[in-house]
Chains A and B, each alone.
Chain A
Amino acid sequence: MSVGLREAVTTSSGTSAVASAKAALTELDDNALVACMVQGDKAAYRVIVERYYRGIVGVARRMGLVSGDAEDVAQDVFVRVWLHREKWQADGGATFKTWLYRVAVNRVIDIKRKPQAVGGEELDEVPDESMSAVDRLAQHQEFARLRKAIKKLSDQQQIAINLFYDRELSNQEAASIMGVSVNAMESLLKRARKRLREELKSI
């Protein structure tokens, strides 16, 4: 076997080993991955980031940040979580997922309180290639109208609405992220829906 061929085989076997290790990590649940992360395993943490990056960006966007800011928040959250990973306590009552989302929600609130926070009307819509131009325009108008109405809700109501309609979160998880009971969350949602309905009528 020539040297070049041997190197190619070695490289390909190394690459496949890395891929299989990553696949094995992907199969792990959050608890196992977090345990590895706390020990300083960056490969495990990468799997966590890949699992929740989209959800964190989504929450940040729904809470009124433009895409660039939402991505910055996600990056900031994941960097902070890694640097303070020893603070995570598995028996703290919350799951890692709800803890992560809570960190993200708090970060978004901090950013929105700053004077340079960008208004919801600057939210960018997502082009959907399967829709016609007319449908996309109508959808964009509906989004804009809805975002305008949501922006008039209280902070707590906005967070409740955004978390409740996040498909990746259950009611229990949404309540846990907000640090309230499920009943309190439903009460918040009730008031938010009522207010939203009234605002949509007036827009």
Chain B
Amino acid sequence: MKIEHFEELLDQYGWDLTSWPEALRRDANILIANDPRAAELHRSLRAVEDILADDPVLMGKHKAIDDIFDAIEAIEASEQAAASDTAAVHVEEESPFQVLDDRPKSRRHVSAASAAPTGDGPARKTYPTTVSVSPTSSAIAKDSTNHAARKDGTIAWLGGRVFSLTGMAVCVLAGFVFGVTLTIEQGHQETATAEEAQLSELLERHVYSLEQLSPGAGSDVRLYHREADR
């Protein structure tokens, strides 16, 4: 075995010859025994690896593990406080309209349960106590009634929207039909008025021409008399 090959094998398998392949181990031992450069390479790598393996680690500051759990408690407390604040803000936004709006709301029971009974404003407690919370995510409520309430609310909202849209469309259509009918009617009236005007003008002209055809004028006496009899 040459020194270059030994060097490569040292890099590959480390200083501990027992971890080397059996076939190479014997040659490596012979080389270390006979070649001072190989022995020095082996010794220096062993020293480095010993230092790396023996590099002691400080246990850290006193109560370091307690600090970890204190940090966890603090984060969880702040998350809970933030969630409570968010829910309280929603209740406060809703409460001024409760006096004015007596229509049934799909989620009214939630706010009613958490509102302060004295009328001094909404209480801080915002979640119904019967709601169970997912162990993996505190944001997910598993309560079936709450789901049902949400579903009902969604359906009511969707229904209201759909009905309002349909109603609006019907109104627009009715207005259009009314407008068209009115226009047609108005057109008929104008046509009738115009025909009547033409007729009266024709009659006036006819009477005027009869006056011109008076007896003195030597015209159709019979027509004149007939008109005079009327």
Contact = CB atoms under 8 A, between A and B. Distances in A.
Interface residues of A, number: 41
Given A128-B56, A196-B48, A79 B12 contact: no
A167 to B, nearest CB: 6
Tell me what chain A mostly uses at the interface: helix, strand, loop, or mixed: helix
Contacts of B10: 193
B61 interface: yes
B1 interface: no
Interface in A172-194: 186, 189-191, 193-194
Interface stretch (B65-73, B93-101, B169-177): B65-73
Contacts of B210: none
Nearest to B59: A54
Interface stretch (A8-16, A56-64, A95-103, A113-121): A56-64
Contact of A197 (B45, B52, B56, B68): B45
Interface of A: 38-40, 42, 46, 49-50, 53-54, 57-58, 61-62, 67, 70-71, 74-75, 78-79, 82-83, 86, 124, 126, 128, 142-143, 146, 161, 165, 167, 186, 189-191, 193-194, 196-197, 200
Given A53-B65, A79-B68, A191-B11, 11 more contacts: A42-B72, A57-B58, A62-B52, A74-B68, A79-B71, A83-B75, A86-B136, A124-B58, A142-B47, A142-B51, A190-B8
Interface of B: 8, 10-12, 14, 41, 44-45, 47-49, 51-53, 55-61, 64-65, 67-69, 71-72, 75, 135-137
